[in-house]
Structure 1
Amino acid sequence: MTELDLLTTFLEIYRRGSLTAAAGALGVSQPAVSGQLARLEERLGDDLFTRSRNGARPTDRAHELARRIGPHLDGLRQALAEDAGEPACRGTVRIGAAGEFTQARLLPALAPLSRRGLVLHITLGLSEPLLVSLAEGGLDLVASSVRPPAKLRTLTATPFVDEEFLLVGTPTAARSVDPLRLAEDPVAALAHLPLVAYAEELPIIRRYWRSEFRSRPPNPVSVVVPDLRAVLTAVIADAGITVLPRYLVEPALNAGSLEQLHRTPVPPLNTLYLVTRAEPAAPAVELVRRRLLEHATTWGPL
């Protein structure tokens, strides 16, 4: 294990925020990453991260080290990629996706391509208008939560990754639910709890109630906000309960600020699609599509 390997591992942890994410990016096990970090910290005589269930928070020494070594390691990576037959990327790729997914998964996977010269223009929004923009030539690729409708026959969709949805609320909300009644009549057991929703039509919540309870939610609605991160914030503040993808709520579940209110033998899933126009894609667009598909194999259900 050379000093360069140790520094490379450190930089991945620093940029990705956790040892697990760094291990996935490097293609090694989490214990291997932990061991490499321990060796580097021993060599430097200082801690580089404060570790918790929510990830790895850099220390001041880590910030200093990342500033010093980051540009040099990036330059070495680009040179090695070019020598290995992966030339620097050229061009701009216009991507459409939901803001929450972009922050949590898309940008960590694609940002390294910018060091090879690729320019990313990302538009945040709902799948339906993003797909229309793609069909009209305004975007090159969309990470969509729905399959393109038949009328957009110029588009082609590839199943990408599955989102796993959880019904969550605060511990206070959980204590207000009778577990026996929840098992016998979940709709009635949960009906007193207000809903925090992404849209007035309750799209995610309504889908969960229909698939798991064979019913529409009778609950009152307390907050409507068109951003799942804001929905999460409102639920943690005890404004109500909601349904969110696992990748978004897992840190709050691990911290104990939220609890899963209902469990099923088979978790409800929603497939995300990578959508492009049916015509042959430009090399930069194909590079982005291929990279996302490769990264998705390490994520599991989101």
Structure 2
Amino acid sequence: MDLALLRTFVAVHRAGSFTRAAALLGLSQPAVTSQIRSLERQIGRPLFHRRARGVTPTAVGDELAHKAAPHLDALLQIAETEREAAGHSRTLHVAGPPEFLCLRVLPALAPLVGQGQTLRTSLVADAEDCLEGLAAGHHDLVVTTARPRGGLFTATALCDEEHVLVAAPYWAALVDPGVLRGKGPAALDGIPVVEVHESLPLVSRYWNAVFDTRPTAAATVVVPDLRAVLECVGAGAGFAVLPRYLCQDALADGRVVALLEPQVPPLRTWFLAVRTGSLALAHLGRAHDRLLRAAALW
């Protein structure tokens, strides 16, 4: 059986689409369709059900993928080892939200750059945009708070991020934590809200987890970068909900104050996502392992 046909088959099986697999393989869609038909003729059975949007594997297709994919990944790993031994390295393409990428991911990957790894980054705030770019082959690895679904991606939990309700000392002096626990968000009436989006994603998550309600006030300041949100809050613009990793220094030096310390703080999980099978690529596997080790200390 032709290995090139099997490689194309596994790519389609993981991608769930001839079009997406073609982009990842650097082939035209007609070429991918032709290769799958050729493989189906060799096997004598259909491997995919053609749907309006993409394809789904038949039972025979699932069985073949289960048998073939690990061997193809192993061959890829051997080829990559030989490639690196010959002095040819690949550029690592990483994407994720700007704050987490800048403050967590890039510092953790910096030692690899010192070892000769080249690195390119894409600052992408929207999780779905990140995953679409990963699926299309624009990125090798993404960090995201949206757990990817489907066979195209492999996701690994990286760390949990604690959220904190903060304000500048001036505003914090006006809020009694006991009243805030008892009255809930009503105790914050009159204090401006600073957020990254009009939909109040972080405030809404916190309100739901801690107060079992939804925010009623609109944002006064909207700025699409959590680092800018922190600076606005520290300067007295109002209150915000921020990841603890981002505001821990400001909390320590008193620039901002935690308005409440709930017994169970709201958490958000970060994931490392790659295309299934791509961890066989040596440069990607190294980066993946390094981030997991670094995250144990976050």
Q: TM-score of the superposition, structure 1-length normalised?
A: 0.67
Aligned to 1:59: none
Residue 116 of structure 1 aligns with an amino acid whose one-letter code is Q
What SS does the aligned partner of 1:166 have?
Answer: strand
Q: Give the conservation status (yes or no) of the 8 Å contact 2:200–2:219.
A: no
Does residue 276 (structure 1) correspond to residue 274 (structure 2)? The answer is yes
1:179/1:264 CA distance change after superposition, 3 Å = closer
- The count of residues paired between Structure 1 and Structure 2 equals 212
Name the counterpart of 1:287: 286
1:22 corresponds in structure 2 to none
Shift of 1:219: 2.5
Q: Distance in 1 between matches of 2:197 and 2:256?
A: 21
- Whether 1:136 and 2:136 are equivalent positions in the alignment is yes
Q: Alignment partner for residue 163 of structure 1, among 161, 164, 168?
A: 161
**Percent identity between the aligned chains?**
42
Instruction: Tell me, yes or no, if the aligned pair for 1:89 and 1:116 is still in contact at 8 Å.
Output: no
Any idea what the Cα deviations from partners look like across 1:40-73, whole Å, max 9, x if unmatched? xxxxxxxxxxxxxxxxxxxxxxxxxxxxxxxxxx
Aligned pair partner of 2:216 in 191, 215, 218: 218
Give the 4+ runs in structure 1 shifted more than 4 A: 86-89
Where structure 2 has 5 or more consecutive residues not aligned to the other structure, the ranges are 1-84
Letter in 2 for 1:272: W
How far does residue 153 in structure 1 lie from its aligned partner after superposition?
3.8
The amino acid of 2:284's aligned partner reads V
**Which residue is 1:119 aligned to?**
118
Measured in 2, the distance between the counterparts of 1:188 and 1:222 equals 16
1:89 offset after TM fit, Å? 8.3
Q: 5+ unaligned residues in a row in structure 1: which ranges?
A: 1-85
- Kept in 2, the 8 Å contact 1:89–1:118? The answer is no
TM-score when scaled to structure 2?
0.68
Cα shift at 1:88: 7.9
In our comparison, the structure showing a higher alpha carbon Rg is 2
Residue 88 of structure 1 contacts residue 117 of structure 1 at CA under 8 Å; is this kept in 2? Answer: no
What is the letter of the counterpart of residue 103 of structure 2? A
Matched, 1:237 2:235: yes
Measure, in 1, the Cα distance between the counterparts of 2:181 and 2:86: 58
Q: Does the 8 Å CA contact 2:171/2:191 hold for their aligned counterparts?
A: yes
Q: Is the 8 A contact 1:208 1:268 kept in 2?
A: yes
Inter-CA distance 87–108: structure 2 relative to 1 (3 Å threshold): farther
User: 2:21 corresponds to which residue?
Assistant: none
Structure 1 pair 189–105 and aligned structure 2 pair: CA distance change class (3 A): same
In the TM superposition, residue 191 of structure 1 has moved relative to its aligned partner by: 2.5
Residues 170, 87 of structure 1: CA spacing in aligned structure 2 closer, same or farther, 3 A cutoff? farther
CA distance in 1, matches of 2:88, 2:257: 44
